[in-house]
Amino acid sequence: MLEAVQLRRLIAVTFACAAVVFIATVVVASGRAQAGQRHIVHTCSAADHQYLDTVSSNMVQLGYWSDSLVHNDVAPGVVVKQARAEAAQIDATRPTDGTLEQSRSLLRSMFMEYARAVYARSRGRSGGLAMGSAYRLANDVHDLLVGAQPTLAGLGCDPAPLLK
């Protein structure tokens, strides 16, 4: 016999499961990034240059859309769409350097979490959890790039513009 499930209970269970999956993903990605720092051989290929240019451009765009959202110059849906598009652009790159490859997945997740936060706020819900995740992912990327910056800069692929 089928029993009716209360909508609130179903939503709460769905949210809890999604949170567990997300937290596990962040922990695995962060652990992979930290563990991978020990044995990485750095490169500076054309793909690495393209990756750095794409990320730099997308970060500028994210800043523009965020400022526009704060000043009510753009609808939240536009910002969500742009953040998702920027995540897809970063995901489409294929850097050959190990650190840049690790930062790619973290940055893609950061843009998606930012989009989730804006979407939640636009629906009257709290975007704090997603925004906090986006900030943590950004900090993980920053830490990765700071550690690799001297070597990458020496090879001609300086990530310094991304560290500002």
Give pLDDT tens digits for 35-64.
444 567 899 999 999 999 999 999 999 999
Q: What mean pLDDT is reported for the chain?
A: 85
Q: Find the Cα–Cα–Cα–Cα dihedral 150, 135, 60, 77, rounded to 10°.
A: 160
DSSP for 86-153, please give it: HHHHHHH----SHHHHHHHHHHHHHHHHHHHHHHHHHTTS--HHHHHHHHHHHHHHHHHHHHHHHHHH
pLDDT on residue 27: 64
pLDDT on residue 164: 81
Q: Is the pLDDT of residue 18 over 80?
A: no
Query: Model's pTM, two decimal places?
Result: 0.74
Contact 153, 45 (CB under 8 A): no
Mean pLDDT of 142-146: 95
Higher pLDDT, 45 or 2: 45
